[in-house]
Copies of this chain bind each other. A is one copy, B any other.
Amino acid sequence: MAAGVTLNDVAKAAGVSIASASRAINGLDNVTEEIRDRVLAAAGRLKYVPHGAARALAMSRTNTIGVILPDIYGEFFSEIIRGIDVGARARGLHILVSGSHGDLNEAVTAVRSMAGRVDGLLVMAPYANAGDLAGKLPVNLPLVMMGGSAGQADLPSLIIDNYGGALDAVRHLREQGCRRIAHISGPENNLEAQDRLRGYLDGLKENGGTQEPIVLSGDFTDNAGYAAVRGLLRGTMPDGLFAANDMMALGASLGLREAGLSVPEDVAVVGFDDIPVTRYASPPISTLRAGVFDIGQRSLELLSVLIERGDAEGGPPPASQTVRPELVVRASSRRLSPSNA
Protein backbone atom coordinates (compact mmCIF):
# COMPACT_ATOMS: atom_id res chain seq x y z
CA MET A 1 0.00 0.00 0.00
CA ALA A 2 1.40 3.34 1.05
CA ALA A 3 3.65 5.13 -1.38
CA GLY A 4 4.68 2.67 -4.06
CA VAL A 5 7.75 4.67 -4.97
CA THR A 6 10.66 4.26 -2.58
CA LEU A 7 13.91 6.01 -1.95
CA ASN A 8 15.57 3.24 -3.85
CA ASP A 9 13.59 4.08 -6.95
CA VAL A 10 14.62 7.69 -6.67
CA ALA A 11 18.26 6.77 -6.21
CA LYS A 12 18.17 4.53 -9.22
CA ALA A 13 16.44 7.15 -11.34
CA ALA A 14 19.02 9.71 -10.33
CA GLY A 15 21.87 7.31 -10.89
CA VAL A 16 23.24 7.55 -7.37
CA SER A 17 23.39 5.38 -4.29
CA ILE A 18 20.50 5.19 -1.91
CA ALA A 19 22.65 6.80 0.74
CA SER A 20 23.29 9.90 -1.32
CA ALA A 21 19.64 10.08 -2.19
CA SER A 22 18.76 10.01 1.47
CA ARG A 23 21.25 12.72 2.26
CA ALA A 24 20.08 14.93 -0.57
CA ILE A 25 16.47 14.62 0.42
CA ASN A 26 17.12 15.28 4.06
CA GLY A 27 19.09 18.37 3.23
CA LEU A 28 22.42 17.29 4.65
CA ASP A 29 25.29 19.39 3.44
CA ASN A 30 27.69 16.67 2.44
CA VAL A 31 26.35 16.30 -1.07
CA THR A 32 27.36 17.88 -4.34
CA GLU A 33 25.02 20.47 -5.73
CA GLU A 34 24.78 18.45 -8.86
CA ILE A 35 23.77 15.27 -7.12
CA ARG A 36 21.33 17.07 -4.91
CA ASP A 37 19.63 18.58 -7.91
CA ARG A 38 19.51 15.29 -9.74
CA VAL A 39 17.98 13.55 -6.75
CA LEU A 40 15.46 16.25 -6.03
CA ALA A 41 14.45 16.34 -9.66
CA ALA A 42 13.96 12.60 -9.74
CA ALA A 43 12.02 12.69 -6.49
CA GLY A 44 9.71 15.34 -7.84
CA ARG A 45 9.21 13.55 -11.10
CA LEU A 46 8.41 10.27 -9.41
CA LYS A 47 6.31 11.97 -6.75
CA TYR A 48 8.38 10.39 -4.06
CA VAL A 49 7.13 10.76 -0.52
CA PRO A 50 9.11 9.30 2.37
CA HIS A 51 7.57 6.34 4.13
CA GLY A 52 6.71 7.45 7.64
CA ALA A 53 6.74 4.07 9.32
CA ALA A 54 10.09 3.14 7.86
CA ARG A 55 11.58 6.42 8.86
CA ALA A 56 10.17 6.10 12.36
CA LEU A 57 11.59 2.63 12.67
CA ALA A 58 15.02 3.72 11.57
CA MET A 59 15.17 6.84 13.67
CA SER A 60 13.14 5.86 16.71
CA ARG A 61 11.45 9.18 16.27
CA THR A 62 7.99 9.88 14.98
CA ASN A 63 7.45 13.56 15.66
CA THR A 64 3.98 12.57 16.67
CA ILE A 65 2.30 12.53 20.01
CA GLY A 66 -0.69 10.40 20.85
CA VAL A 67 -3.76 11.85 22.51
CA ILE A 68 -6.35 9.72 24.22
CA LEU A 69 -9.56 11.33 25.34
CA PRO A 70 -12.95 9.99 26.41
CA ASP A 71 -14.23 11.45 23.16
CA ILE A 72 -12.62 13.35 20.36
CA TYR A 73 -15.44 15.73 19.62
CA GLY A 74 -17.79 18.06 21.42
CA GLU A 75 -17.15 21.46 22.88
CA PHE A 76 -15.09 20.33 25.81
CA PHE A 77 -12.65 17.95 24.19
CA SER A 78 -12.47 20.13 21.14
CA GLU A 79 -11.04 22.90 23.29
CA ILE A 80 -8.47 20.58 24.78
CA ILE A 81 -7.43 19.46 21.36
CA ARG A 82 -7.10 23.06 20.32
CA GLY A 83 -4.73 23.68 23.20
CA ILE A 84 -2.70 20.66 22.25
CA ASP A 85 -2.74 21.62 18.61
CA VAL A 86 -1.21 25.05 19.05
CA GLY A 87 1.51 23.63 21.25
CA ALA A 88 2.19 20.82 18.85
CA ARG A 89 2.31 23.06 15.83
CA ALA A 90 4.90 25.24 17.47
CA ARG A 91 7.08 22.19 17.92
CA GLY A 92 6.42 20.59 14.57
CA LEU A 93 4.59 17.68 16.11
CA HIS A 94 1.68 15.77 14.69
CA ILE A 95 -1.24 14.40 16.62
CA LEU A 96 -2.68 10.93 16.72
CA VAL A 97 -5.99 11.02 18.53
CA SER A 98 -8.19 8.31 19.81
CA GLY A 99 -11.38 8.17 21.82
CA SER A 100 -11.90 5.73 24.62
CA HIS A 101 -15.64 6.32 24.79
CA GLY A 102 -15.71 6.14 28.52
CA ASP A 103 -14.29 2.66 28.61
CA LEU A 104 -10.99 1.92 30.27
CA ASN A 105 -10.40 -1.12 28.11
CA GLU A 106 -10.70 0.93 24.98
CA ALA A 107 -8.23 3.35 26.45
CA VAL A 108 -5.79 0.53 27.03
CA THR A 109 -6.27 -0.73 23.50
CA ALA A 110 -5.67 2.74 22.17
CA VAL A 111 -2.49 3.12 24.16
CA ARG A 112 -1.14 -0.16 22.92
CA SER A 113 -1.94 0.61 19.33
CA MET A 114 0.03 3.80 19.61
CA ALA A 115 3.23 2.26 20.86
CA GLY A 116 5.97 2.74 18.33
CA ARG A 117 3.95 5.27 16.43
CA VAL A 118 4.26 8.18 18.80
CA ASP A 119 7.00 9.80 20.85
CA GLY A 120 4.77 10.34 23.84
CA LEU A 121 1.26 10.13 25.15
CA LEU A 122 -1.30 12.54 26.53
CA VAL A 123 -4.13 10.71 28.17
CA MET A 124 -7.28 11.69 29.91
CA ALA A 125 -9.02 8.82 31.61
CA PRO A 126 -11.29 9.96 34.42
CA TYR A 127 -12.39 6.47 35.30
CA ALA A 128 -12.63 5.00 38.73
CA ASN A 129 -10.25 2.19 37.91
CA ALA A 130 -7.79 4.28 35.96
CA GLY A 131 -5.02 3.04 38.19
CA ASP A 132 -5.05 -0.22 36.27
CA LEU A 133 -3.92 1.67 33.23
CA ALA A 134 -0.51 2.41 34.64
CA GLY A 135 0.24 -1.28 34.87
CA LYS A 136 -0.55 -2.01 31.26
CA LEU A 137 1.45 0.82 29.80
CA PRO A 138 4.33 0.25 27.45
CA VAL A 139 7.54 0.82 29.31
CA ASN A 140 9.74 3.69 28.34
CA LEU A 141 7.02 5.76 26.74
CA PRO A 142 6.73 9.31 28.11
CA LEU A 143 3.22 10.01 29.30
CA VAL A 144 1.25 12.82 30.88
CA MET A 145 -2.16 12.40 32.42
CA MET A 146 -4.64 15.17 31.84
CA GLY A 147 -7.11 16.16 34.51
CA GLY A 148 -6.58 13.10 36.60
CA SER A 149 -8.01 13.25 40.06
CA ALA A 150 -5.40 14.42 42.55
CA GLY A 151 -2.63 11.96 43.22
CA GLN A 152 -4.21 8.80 41.89
CA ALA A 153 -1.31 7.26 40.09
CA ASP A 154 2.12 8.74 40.50
CA LEU A 155 2.32 9.70 36.87
CA PRO A 156 3.15 13.20 35.75
CA SER A 157 -0.18 14.90 35.37
CA LEU A 158 -2.18 18.05 35.06
CA ILE A 159 -4.68 18.02 37.83
CA ILE A 160 -7.84 20.07 37.92
CA ASP A 161 -9.04 21.06 41.35
CA ASN A 162 -12.60 19.93 40.80
CA TYR A 163 -13.39 19.85 44.46
CA GLY A 164 -12.28 23.41 45.03
CA GLY A 165 -14.15 24.62 42.01
CA ALA A 166 -17.37 23.03 43.17
CA LEU A 167 -16.90 24.63 46.54
CA ASP A 168 -16.63 28.01 44.86
CA ALA A 169 -19.78 27.38 42.90
CA VAL A 170 -21.81 26.68 46.01
CA ARG A 171 -20.35 29.66 47.85
CA HIS A 172 -21.22 31.90 44.97
CA LEU A 173 -24.79 30.68 44.81
CA ARG A 174 -25.19 31.28 48.50
CA GLU A 175 -23.84 34.79 48.15
CA GLN A 176 -26.48 35.38 45.57
CA GLY A 177 -29.05 34.47 48.17
CA CYS A 178 -29.82 30.90 47.25
CA ARG A 179 -31.14 28.79 50.11
CA ARG A 180 -32.00 25.56 48.34
CA ILE A 181 -29.23 24.52 46.04
CA ALA A 182 -29.49 21.38 43.93
CA HIS A 183 -26.72 19.56 42.10
CA ILE A 184 -26.87 17.70 38.82
CA SER A 185 -24.07 15.19 38.99
CA GLY A 186 -21.92 13.63 36.28
CA PRO A 187 -21.45 9.92 35.50
CA GLU A 188 -21.01 7.88 38.64
CA ASN A 189 -17.74 6.28 37.73
CA ASN A 190 -16.19 9.55 36.60
CA LEU A 191 -13.59 10.75 39.05
CA GLU A 192 -13.92 14.39 38.15
CA ALA A 193 -17.66 14.20 38.63
CA GLN A 194 -17.15 12.58 41.99
CA ASP A 195 -14.90 15.39 43.16
CA ARG A 196 -17.39 17.97 42.03
CA LEU A 197 -20.11 16.20 43.93
CA ARG A 198 -17.97 16.14 47.07
CA GLY A 199 -17.36 19.83 46.69
CA TYR A 200 -21.07 20.45 46.45
CA LEU A 201 -21.84 18.39 49.53
CA ASP A 202 -19.11 20.00 51.61
CA GLY A 203 -20.07 23.41 50.35
CA LEU A 204 -23.54 23.01 51.75
CA LYS A 205 -22.11 22.33 55.18
CA GLU A 206 -19.84 25.35 55.25
CA ASN A 207 -20.56 28.08 57.74
CA GLY A 208 -22.97 25.91 59.62
CA GLY A 209 -25.16 25.32 56.58
CA THR A 210 -27.87 22.76 57.15
CA GLN A 211 -29.52 22.41 53.80
CA GLU A 212 -30.38 18.86 52.85
CA PRO A 213 -28.45 17.90 49.68
CA ILE A 214 -30.50 17.54 46.51
CA VAL A 215 -28.61 15.44 44.00
CA LEU A 216 -29.99 14.66 40.58
CA SER A 217 -27.95 12.17 38.61
CA GLY A 218 -26.80 13.09 35.15
CA ASP A 219 -24.27 11.98 32.56
CA PHE A 220 -22.69 15.20 31.29
CA THR A 221 -25.10 15.54 28.35
CA ASP A 222 -27.48 18.42 27.76
CA ASN A 223 -30.39 16.02 27.73
CA ALA A 224 -29.55 14.88 31.22
CA GLY A 225 -29.68 18.45 32.45
CA TYR A 226 -33.00 18.96 30.77
CA ALA A 227 -34.42 15.76 32.18
CA ALA A 228 -33.22 16.57 35.68
CA VAL A 229 -35.14 19.81 35.64
CA ARG A 230 -38.26 18.18 34.31
CA GLY A 231 -38.13 15.73 37.16
CA LEU A 232 -37.85 18.59 39.60
CA LEU A 233 -41.04 20.23 38.44
CA ARG A 234 -43.33 18.01 40.48
CA GLY A 235 -41.82 19.04 43.82
CA THR A 236 -40.46 22.12 45.47
CA MET A 237 -38.20 23.97 43.12
CA PRO A 238 -34.69 24.80 44.34
CA ASP A 239 -33.58 28.38 43.89
CA GLY A 240 -30.05 27.47 42.92
CA LEU A 241 -28.61 24.84 40.62
CA PHE A 242 -25.04 23.69 40.27
CA ALA A 243 -24.49 21.36 37.34
CA ALA A 244 -21.36 19.23 37.12
CA ASN A 245 -20.66 20.56 33.66
CA ASP A 246 -21.79 23.23 31.23
CA MET A 247 -23.73 21.04 28.85
CA MET A 248 -26.03 19.94 31.63
CA ALA A 249 -26.34 23.51 32.88
CA LEU A 250 -27.35 24.47 29.37
CA GLY A 251 -29.98 21.76 29.17
CA ALA A 252 -31.25 22.63 32.62
CA SER A 253 -31.51 26.31 31.78
CA LEU A 254 -33.50 25.44 28.69
CA GLY A 255 -35.81 23.23 30.71
CA LEU A 256 -36.36 25.91 33.31
CA ARG A 257 -37.30 28.48 30.75
CA GLU A 258 -39.66 26.10 29.03
CA ALA A 259 -41.33 25.55 32.38
CA GLY A 260 -41.94 29.24 32.65
CA LEU A 261 -39.30 29.81 35.30
CA SER A 262 -36.79 32.57 34.89
CA VAL A 263 -33.05 32.25 35.21
CA PRO A 264 -31.56 33.59 37.43
CA GLU A 265 -34.50 35.18 39.26
CA ASP A 266 -36.32 31.96 40.06
CA VAL A 267 -33.36 29.63 39.78
CA ALA A 268 -29.73 30.65 39.56
CA VAL A 269 -27.62 28.30 37.47
CA VAL A 270 -23.90 27.55 37.48
CA GLY A 271 -22.05 25.10 35.26
CA PHE A 272 -18.47 23.85 35.05
CA ASP A 273 -15.74 23.95 32.35
CA ASP A 274 -16.50 27.20 30.52
CA ILE A 275 -16.97 25.74 27.10
CA PRO A 276 -17.46 28.30 24.32
CA VAL A 277 -21.23 27.89 23.96
CA THR A 278 -21.94 29.21 27.41
CA ARG A 279 -21.51 32.70 26.03
CA TYR A 280 -24.22 32.27 23.45
CA ALA A 281 -26.83 30.74 25.63
CA SER A 282 -29.53 32.96 26.97
CA PRO A 283 -28.93 33.81 29.60
CA PRO A 284 -25.18 33.25 29.34
CA ILE A 285 -24.18 30.57 31.82
CA SER A 286 -22.02 31.20 34.86
CA THR A 287 -19.34 28.61 35.13
CA LEU A 288 -15.97 27.54 36.44
CA ARG A 289 -13.25 28.10 33.94
CA ALA A 290 -10.95 25.15 34.21
CA GLY A 291 -8.95 26.60 31.40
CA VAL A 292 -9.62 23.69 29.13
CA PHE A 293 -7.48 25.21 26.46
CA ASP A 294 -4.61 25.76 28.85
CA ILE A 295 -4.78 22.25 30.11
CA GLY A 296 -4.21 20.97 26.63
CA GLN A 297 -1.41 23.35 25.96
CA ARG A 298 0.35 22.87 29.27
CA SER A 299 0.08 19.11 29.10
CA LEU A 300 1.77 19.17 25.76
CA GLU A 301 4.56 21.32 27.10
CA LEU A 302 5.07 19.03 30.03
CA LEU A 303 5.14 16.06 27.72
CA SER A 304 7.58 17.51 25.27
CA VAL A 305 9.94 18.24 28.10
CA LEU A 306 9.76 14.61 29.13
CA ILE A 307 10.35 13.52 25.56
CA GLU A 308 13.26 15.84 25.05
CA ARG A 309 15.09 14.66 28.11
CA GLY A 310 14.56 11.10 26.99
CA ASP A 311 12.63 10.48 30.10
CA ALA A 312 10.03 7.81 30.59
CA GLU A 313 8.00 7.24 33.68
CA GLY A 314 10.89 6.91 36.06
CA GLY A 315 12.86 10.10 36.42
CA PRO A 316 12.82 12.68 39.19
CA PRO A 317 9.63 14.28 40.44
CA PRO A 318 6.45 13.53 38.50
CA ALA A 319 6.25 17.27 37.95
CA SER A 320 2.51 17.44 38.24
CA GLN A 321 0.68 20.70 38.15
CA THR A 322 -2.63 21.64 39.69
CA VAL A 323 -5.07 24.06 38.15
CA ARG A 324 -7.64 25.81 40.28
CA PRO A 325 -10.73 26.68 38.23
CA GLU A 326 -11.78 30.30 38.23
CA LEU A 327 -15.37 31.34 38.79
CA VAL A 328 -16.86 33.23 35.87
CA VAL A 329 -20.06 34.97 36.81
CA ARG A 330 -22.52 35.55 34.00
CA ALA A 331 -26.19 36.38 33.83
CA SER A 332 -27.45 32.92 34.75
CA SER A 333 -26.50 33.43 38.37
CA ARG A 334 -26.25 37.18 38.81
CA ARG A 335 -29.14 38.46 40.86
CA LEU A 336 -29.62 42.17 41.12
CA SER A 337 -32.20 41.91 43.82
CA PRO A 338 -32.02 39.73 46.93
CA SER A 339 -33.30 36.21 46.76
CA ASN A 340 -37.01 35.62 46.93
CA ALA A 341 -36.67 32.27 48.55
- What residues of B have a CB within 8 angstroms of the CB of A50 in the complex? 112, 115-116
CA distance A54 to B101 in the complex (A): 28
Contact residue among B47, B73, B113, B138 (Cβ-Cβ distance under 8 Å from A138): B47
Q: Is A187 an interface residue (CB 8 A)?
A: no
Contact of A74 with B78 in the complex, beta carbons under 8 Å: yes
Q: Would A138 and B281 be within 8 Å (CB), given that A50-B115, A73-B85, A78-B74 are in contact?
A: no
Shortest CB distance A103–B (Å): 11
Contact residue among B4, B119, B136 (Cβ-Cβ distance under 8 Å from A140): B4
Contact of B140 with A2 in the complex, beta carbons under 8 Å: yes
CA distance A250 to B55 in the complex (A): 46
CA distance A208 to B62 in the complex (A): 60
Give the contact stretch, choosing among A27-35, A89-97, A173-181, A264-272: A89-97
Contact of A113 with B74 in the complex, beta carbons under 8 Å: no
Q: Would A53 and B61 be within 8 Å (CB), given that A3-B138, A74-B78 are in contact?
A: no
Shortest CB distance A281–B (Å): 5
Shortest CB distance A289–B (Å): 17
Q: Would A51 and B116 be within 8 Å (CB), given that A4-B140, A140-B2, A254-B280 are in contact?
A: yes
Interface size, chain A (Cβ < 8 Å): 59
CA distance A82 to B99 in the complex (A): 10
Q: Is A81 an interface residue (CB 8 A)?
A: yes
Contact residue among B61, B78, B139, B254 (Cβ-Cβ distance under 8 Å from A73): B78
Contact of A72 with B81 in the complex, beta carbons under 8 Å: yes
Q: Is A188 an interface residue (CB 8 A)?
A: no
Q: Is A137 an interface residue (CB 8 A)?
A: yes
Shortest CB distance A278–B (Å): 9
- What residues of B have a CB within 8 angstroms of the CB of A211 in the complex? none
- What residues of B have a CB within 8 angstroms of the CB of A104 in the complex? none
Q: Is A49 an interface residue (CB 8 A)?
A: yes
- What residues of B have a CB within 8 angstroms of the CB of A81 in the complex? 72-73
Contact residue among B53, B114, B140 (Cβ-Cβ distance under 8 Å from A116): B53
- What residues of B have a CB within 8 angstroms of the CB of A96 in the complex? 64, 94-97
Contact of B99 with A97 in the complex, beta carbons under 8 Å: no
- What residues of B have a CB within 8 angstroms of the CB of A38 in the complex? none
Additional 14 contacts, C-beta under 8 A, given A52-B116, A282-B282:
A1-B119, A1-B307, A2-B138, A4-B140, A50-B116, A51-B115, A52-B53, A53-B53, A53-B62, A54-B57, A72-B85, A73-B79, A73-B81, A73-B85
